[in-house]
């Protein structure tokens, strides 16, 4: 399975958690080497009455934000998998889901107990 196919499966869980109101946050982490871009934090945001995703790029000395549709955010995040990020973690109120690449670039998707008890406030307000 390649990165785009496996990440699409992972991102389907992101979309489900948004639809069911369980999404807490999404983080891309664990970079390859010493890169300027350290993390990408993703959270839902309502823009002109439409649920979208805010991508916050955390650099060593700066931060930048972009707002995209849910599907466009997936396309953008996919470009960062394996370059430079080796993991993406979806935090929901039901479970945490980790998308991970090892040194040989083997893909694993691991479910673990939830870290967050409450979903994103923006998402809760939007779903009301």
pTM: 0.93
Mean pLDDT of 45-63: 95
What does residue 77 show for φ and ψ, rounded to 5 degrees?
Answer: -60, -35
List b or e across 84-109, with b for residues whose CB sees 16 or more CB atoms inside 10 angstroms.
Answer: bbbbbbbbbbeebbbbebeeeeebee
pLDDT of res. 79: 94
Q: Give residue limits of the domains in the chain.
A: 3-127
Q: For residue 105, give the 3-state DSSP assignment.
A: coil
Mean pLDDT of 32-50: 92
Give pLDDT, residue 128: 78
Q: Helices (H), strands (E): how many in the chain?
A: 3, 7
pLDDT at 55 over 70: yes
pLDDT in tens, 79-123: 999 889 999 999 999 999 999 999 898 999 999 999 999 999 999
Cβ atoms 120, 23 nearer than 8 A: yes
Over residues 31-35, the mean pLDDT reads 80
């Amino acid at each position: 399975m390649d990165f785009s196919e496996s990440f699409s499966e992972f991102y389907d869980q992101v979309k489900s958690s948004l639809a069911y109101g369980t999404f807490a946050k999404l983080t891309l982490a664990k970079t390859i080497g010493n890169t300027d871009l350290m993390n990408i934090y993703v959270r839902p945001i309502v823009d002109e009455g439409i649920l979208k995703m805010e991508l916050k790029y955390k650099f060593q000395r700066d931060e930048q934000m972009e707002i995209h549709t849910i599907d466009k955010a997936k396309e953008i995040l996919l470009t960062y998998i394996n370059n430079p990020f080796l993991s993406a973690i979806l935090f929901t109120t039901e479970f945490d889901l980790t998308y991970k690449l090892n040194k040989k670039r083997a893909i694993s998707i691991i479910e673990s107990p939830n870290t967050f008890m409450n979903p994103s406030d923006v998402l809760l307000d939007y779903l009301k």
